[in-house]
Structures are given as C-alpha cells and as structure tokens.
Amino acid sequence: MKKQLLISIFLGGMFGLALLGHSVFAVFQTPTAVPPGANVATPINVSSVAQDKAGVLRVTGFRSFADAIFDTNVNITGKLTALGGVDPPYVSFSAETRETIRNFAKDVQEHEEAMLFWNGETRRMEAYVIGEDAFYTITGDLIEE
C-alpha cells in the first residue's frame, strides 16, 4: 500500500513537472522573428515611427530633443523649470535683466505681446511690451531707460 502511494505521488509529481517544465521552456524560447514581426513587440526605444504603449511608462529621466507634445493633462510632482518661459503667458521668476528679456523676445511667437519677469537689477516685477520695446512696472507705469 505504501509502495503504491509512493509510486502514485512520484508519477503525479513527474506529470506535474512535465507540464510545468513545458510552460517554463516556452517562456524562454528565442523569438521567431525580429521586432516588430510575428510574436515580438517593437521595443519602446527602437524605431522612428509613432508607438503606443498601454499603461504607465515609468522612466528615471526624460529629455526630448524636439517638441514634446502631450495630448492630455500633465501632472508634475516637484519643481518645473521652464527655460524660455511658459506659453501662454511668459512669466519668469528668475533674476533677469532687461537685456536678457529683449534677447528672449527675439524668439517668441507672433501672438505673444508681453513678457512678465523679475528684474534682478531693480529687484521688482516688470513687464516688457514687445511691440513697443518698452518696460512697465507691475502697476502699468512706463519705465524710462
């Protein structure tokens, strides 16, 4: 009786291992084609064509060397540093000078008419009206240069 029980357990275990071993072996099969053919998905970091990914894409760092376009909301936990301003509107809380603001204004789009910035030299917020090439205080008084 013990011998039959041991044989049954042994055969059941071998059958289970055979089934499990086949599944494990299938997971580690070499792909049958190169991406994106057959059973191999395109890696997210390969190809110049648009790619979709379902779910979250989590990266340690992100840098776009062209325009980054987001079709929905962007949530940022931490500080946002936007060199060149935020469109719309242009607001800079860095210690700028009137000269640096004039330089930034050379590259703005046509619809942008004014830039609000912290003037590090005068220690106050100022507005630069691009079309007039004039600076104003935050209360709207013209600043004579």
Please give the tally of structural domains in the chain. 2
Tell me whether residue 80 is in a domain: no
Q: How confident is the model at residue 26, as a pLDDT? A: 61
Residue 49 inside a domain? The answer is no
Domain presence at residue 24:
yes
Token pair of 125, please?
């917020």
Tens-place pLDDT, residues 90-144 = 788 889 999 999 998 988 877 788 999 999 999 999 999 999 999 999 999 999 9
Domain assignment present for residue 27? The answer is: yes
User: Domain range holding 131?
Assistant: 90-143
Residue 78 lies in a domain: no
In a domain, 74, yes or no: no
Is residue 103 in some structural domain?
yes
CB 145 within 8 A of CB 135: yes
User: Is the pTM higher than 0.75?
Assistant: no
Q: Who's near 89: CB < 8 A, 6+ residues apart?
A: 112, 114, 116
pLDDT digits (tens, 9 = 90+) for 74-103: 888 888 887 776 665 678 888 999 999 999
Q: 59-69 burial by CB neighbour count: b if 16+ within 10 A, else e?
A: eeeeeeeeeee
Whether residue 55 is contained in a domain is answered as no
